[in-house]
Amino acid sequence: MSIDTLIDDFSFLESWEDRYKYLIELGSKLPHFDEEKKKEEWKISGCQSQVWIIPHFDNDMLYFEGDSDAIIVRGIIAVVLEIFKDKSVQEIFDIDVEEIFDKLGLREHITPNRRSGMLSMVDKMKYYASQKLKE
């Protein structure tokens, strides 16, 4: 799935309830982390829920996997992972996730706490990208 596909999918959903259900569906497709992956070093601070994001580097590409203990947040993670999927380190650093969330119609519908948590996830992912750029 691409960002454009996500935008198209969300644009067909007329109500927030439908978008909410789709967000839950996206999150349900993420594999759950086993306890070994739920380390403090991967935990994202600034989230009300427990969130873990693990980076994986492959040359100039950066891949992520993520999990949460909350179903809506898992959906947000799924969207953010899709936004950063198959992107170079530089592309990850340059992406405006809030603009994409606007296009998805999610920015105005997720709670301020979830939005803050999403931004914390994105900040941490961009931090990983910036560390790779410094190498």
Q: What is the dihedral of CA 50, 53, 54, 55, to 10 degrees?
A: -160
pLDDT at 13: 87
Q: Residue 103 belongs to what domain range? A: 3-134
CATH of the domain at 109: 3.90.1010.10
**pTM (2 d.p.):** 0.91
Q: Of 6, 26, 47, 125, which residue is the catalytic one?
A: 47
pLDDT along the chain (135 residues), means of 10: 86 87 94 95 89 90 93 94 90 89 82 87 92 75
Question: What's the full length of the chain, in residues?
Answer: 135
pLDDT at 43: 95
What distance in Å separates the CA atoms of residue 75 and residue 72, rounded to the nearest whole number?
Answer: 5
- What's the domain count of the chain? 1
To the query of whether residue 40 is one of the catalytic residues in this protein, the response is no
pLDDT at 54: 96
What distance in Å separates the CA atoms of residue 128 and residue 93, rounded to the nearest whole number?
Answer: 9
